[in-house]
Amino acid sequence: MSTAPRTLPVTDLSLVVLVGATGSGKSTFARRHFKPTEVVSSDFCRGLVADDENDQSASRDAFDVLHYIAGKRLEAGRLTVVDATNVQPESRKQLVQLARKYDVLPIAIVLDLPEEVCAERNAVRPDRAGMPRHVIQRHRRELRRSLRSLEREGFRKVHVLRSVEEVDAAEVVLERRYNDLTHLTGPFDIIGDIHGCRSELETLLGKLGYVDGSHPEGRTAVFVGDLVDRGPDSPGVLRRVMGMVASGDALCVPGNHENKLGRYLKGRNVQHTHGLAETVEQLEKEDDSFKEQVRDFIDGLVSHYVLDGGNLVVCHAGLPEKYHGRTSGRVRSHALYGDTTGETDEFGLPVRYPWAEDYRGRAAVVYGHTPVPNTSWINNTICLDTGAVFGGKMTALRWPERELVDVPAEKVWYEPAKPLTTEAPGGHDGRPLDLADVHGRRVVETRQMGRVAVREENAAAALEVMSRFAVDPRLLTYLPPTMSPTGTSHVEGYLEHPAEAFATYRADGVGRVVCEEKHMGSRAVALVCRDADVARERFGADGPTGVVHTRTGRPFFDDGTTTELILGRLRTAVTEAGLWEELRTDWLLLDAELMPWSLKASGLLRHQYAAVGAAARAVFPGAVAALEGAAARGVDVQGLLATQRERARDAAAFTDAYRRYCWPTEGLEGVRLAPFQLLAVEGRSLAGVPHDEQLAWLDRLVEHDPTALLQTTRRLIVNTGDPESVRAGIDWWLEMTSRGGEGMVVKPVQALVRDGKNRLVQPGIKVRGREYLRIIYGPEYTRPEQLEKLRNRFLGHKRSLALREYALGLEALDRLAEGEPLWRIHEAVFAVLALESEPVDPRL
């Protein structure tokens, strides 16, 4: 007797529960139809907890483990098959609950095989040969009793196989979920709430380029629901949308208003409130077949869609990430109604939980439902309901372009229950940042370097500094990366020398480099806005017109007045230089050095550097005099005397070294700011702009500064392949550092460069002056024996750290430029700070 092949449809994300007596061949069936990792068996779990797969006394613990594993798999969105007898309703109930918890469908596959078959199979298994016959009989009794109630228990599909032949002929076929349209890549035009505004819809479709419901370039419209109610022509809107969906020109998800209309059309008793009355009246003029089509159309709508490879989720009222692509009553409920807190506001409308503030998903969620005066992205979500029916506008989003297109309402079609002044959620009070965005061990995905890891202890230190000392995170859009020094020099008397830097870049395949004078001051990052309104609208910070912060994110000046003074001068220079217009921006982000060093580092200078000099000046005269006295008496101390004299000279040189970077200031009098890179402007990271262009912008800034605040950065272009040019670069450095300069930074002119193996090249290499290095390595580091020891320094970790921080900094700028949510920018900025606390030789 042969049986025709039978297909068993199984949804690709579901919990498949095998049901069958012992010996009915569940494990064999599972092996044949599913991947080994998809199957979780109770026998295996029994073995895990009790070393014996047949130890029934371990069942309770074994099922705990089974449920735990199945839960983890379902949470991660993986098809899971439970291989256990599952003949008792209690055990199945737990599994149905598990499926609901993770919003997947429970599916039952029943192997209802004759007792004889089960007994024979058990007999040939040594571990089960002794199993009493009545166990099989009991299982079969329980199974039989269960068969009719499986659907009632909540299984959404039940497949029963009643013979060995049926089992053998069965074929499991995986089915896509209805909401899974990840294979569709659009491009899409996602259209917000319509509410019967037929005329505005036609205008908007026209503006988007649709001709009679079809786009000549093959774009697909996606409607976020609430097509009907309140407005003048709901049937017209339905006709248009239904036509487009039928012809494949559009997709549509249901809104709560469609849901209610659908129930009305099915004859349910619903209240004709919130604009349903208008629709019912308009539908009266239509024939029954149209109403039937509408009913079927609404009945066929899927509550949300996952599109474009998983990058886009469209639904009516928004959806947290854990519900994306899931199927359950509560997923549908959230998609249609959002998440209400259970409270009502003063207008009697439900208070909605601000789910978007918590949203951290990769997919953009596009939705409607809550009318807002203007749309804005928050945490990669956007609400397109701009209240067309209330006299606002109708809005569409072009995807993947992320362009907004809107048309104004022709009139106020319906009076809103509350004024349309609700704020879009988030953005204010620094609200959306959550500790989970930064705390503990983390990995940040960067465009330029892949995954960059942050260790827990480094994140902990960064959290302390960020929380207690940093400026408002909304204004903290970037932290500068650390920079590696040049490879150690073997030129006599030098620890660092430009020759190594040029050679390194030459080896990396970088021909043209720019040498930039290194200003010895304190690093300062300045965010300059055109005015306070820009700071408020673009960055959400109420009051200041920008920020000036240090390399760990602290405010550079204790008082806001000085900060505003500096920002004001920078703003004047930007305006005079015409950079607002040229760069088409209302704000810009500058990397700079603020001088003198003593302005910010006076504590350090006094307690450490000046102190060392003072101690040296106090001790050497006496020591040298004592040695001279002993020498005069004929004691042999000549060698020691000479050494002490040299050490005294070194200590004096050390004092001279730090003194060059100290001068008194009064207010902004005496303060200098040397900008060396424009990092970002609206919509654009400038980190990849070649340095010669960068310097041209910055020179214009300095030129147009009417005060003496801004200072130019001296520079020289060197061709690393040309010995003459390299020689000139070295001479330039020698000349500058011999006059007390800190040194220079050598950068590839092309800024963002990769080497032959496609690895990031260091964005800059510092070459510090011989005298300056006394501040770092100690007054006597130039003595030959010390220099010899110091040359044994290891740069690998510093170089790697510099590149990781560089990649994170670039990432922060890209995220800022692309208007990504605050938490995404903050994540990268925070990671730079955390990496700064990694252990690395601090002298490098």
Partner 1 sequence: MFLTISTTGNQERPATDLGFLLHKHPDKAQTFSTSHGTAHVLYPEASVERCTAALLLEVDPVALVRRGKGKGRGGSPDSALAQYVNDRPYAASSLLAVALSTVFKTALQGVCSARPERAAAPLPLRVEVPALPARGGAELVAKLFAPLGWTTVSAQPVPLDEQFPQWGDSRYVQLVLEGELRLADALRQLYVLLPVLDDSKHYWVAPDEVDKLLRAGEGWLAEHPEQKLITSRYLARRWSLTRQAMERLELVRLAEADDLEVEEIDNAVDETTDTDERPVPLAVQRRDAILRALDAAGASRVLDLGCGQGQLVQALLKNVKFTEIVGVDVSMRALTIASRRLKIDRLGERQAERVKLMQGSLTYTDKRLTGYDAAVLSEVVEHLDLPRLPALEYAVFGSARPRTVLVTTPNVEYNVRWESLPAGHVRHGDHRFEWTRAEFRAWAERVAARHGYGVEFVPVGPDDPEVGPPTQMAVFTRTTQDKPGDGRDKQGRRDGRSEQTTPQDEKEAKAA
**First-to-last C-alpha distance (Å) of the chain:** 82
CB nearer to partner 1: give 178 or 580: 178
Least distance from C-beta 369 to partner 1, angstroms?
13
Least distance from C-beta 307 to partner 1, angstroms?
16
CB nearer to partner 1: give 637 or 710: 637
Least distance from C-beta 89 to partner 1, angstroms?
19
How many Cβ atoms sit within 10 Å of the Cβ of residue 434?
13
How is residue 189 written in tokens? 């035009």
Cα–Cα nearest to 778, from 664, 616, 643: 616
CB nearer to partner 1: give 154 or 568: 154
CB nearer to partner 1: give 41 or 146: 146
- The DSSP-derived string for 340-389 is EEEEE-TTSPEEEP-HHHH---SSEEEE-SS--SS---BTTEEE----GG
Burial class of residue 290 in the structure, from the number of CB atoms within 10 Å of its CB (0-12 exposed, 13-18 middle, 19+ buried)? middle
Least distance from C-beta 606 to partner 1, angstroms?
5
- The DSSP-derived string for 3-34 is ---EEEEEESSEEEEEEE-TTS-HHHHHHHHS
CB nearer to partner 1: give 49 or 662: 662
Contact 767, 743 (CB under 8 A): yes
Least distance from C-beta 324 to partner 1, angstroms?
13
Least distance from C-beta 247 to partner 1, angstroms?
21
Least distance from C-beta 334 to partner 1, angstroms?
8
- The DSSP-derived string for 511-578 is -EEEEEEEP-SEEEEEEEESSHHHHHHHH--SS-SEEEE-TTS-BSSSSHHHHHHHHHHHHHHHHHHT
- The DSSP-derived string for 299-324 is HT--SEEEEGGGTEEEESS---GGGT
Rounded to a whole number of angstroms, the CA Rg of the chain reads: 36
- What is d(CA 545, CA 564) in angstroms, rounded to the nearest whole number? 7
CB nearer to partner 1: give 287 or 343: 343
Least distance from C-beta 516 to partner 1, angstroms?
20
Task: Tell me the CB-side half-sphere exposure of residue 616, using CA atoms within 13 A.
Answer: 22
CB nearer to partner 1: give 399 or 478: 478
CB nearer to partner 1: give 551 or 704: 551
CB nearer to partner 1: give 367 or 732: 367
Least distance from C-beta 586 to partner 1, angstroms?
21
CB nearer to partner 1: give 260 or 571: 260
Contact 830, 438 (CB under 8 A): yes
- What is d(CA 220, CA 243) in angstroms, rounded to the nearest whole number? 13
* Sequence letter at residue 336: L
Instruction: Write the CA distances from 262 to 255, 291, 340, 579, integer angstroms.
Output: 11, 10, 22, 57
Classified as helix, coil or strand, 636 is coil
CB nearer to partner 1: give 575 or 608: 608
Residue 588 φ then ψ, to 5°: -150, 155
Least distance from C-beta 5 to partner 1, angstroms?
19
How is residue 835 written in tokens? 């990496």
Contact 44, 65 (CB under 8 A): no
Least distance from C-beta 487 to partner 1, angstroms?
13
Least distance from C-beta 822 to partner 1, angstroms?
11
CB nearer to partner 1: give 95 or 397: 95
Contact 654, 613 (CB under 8 A): yes
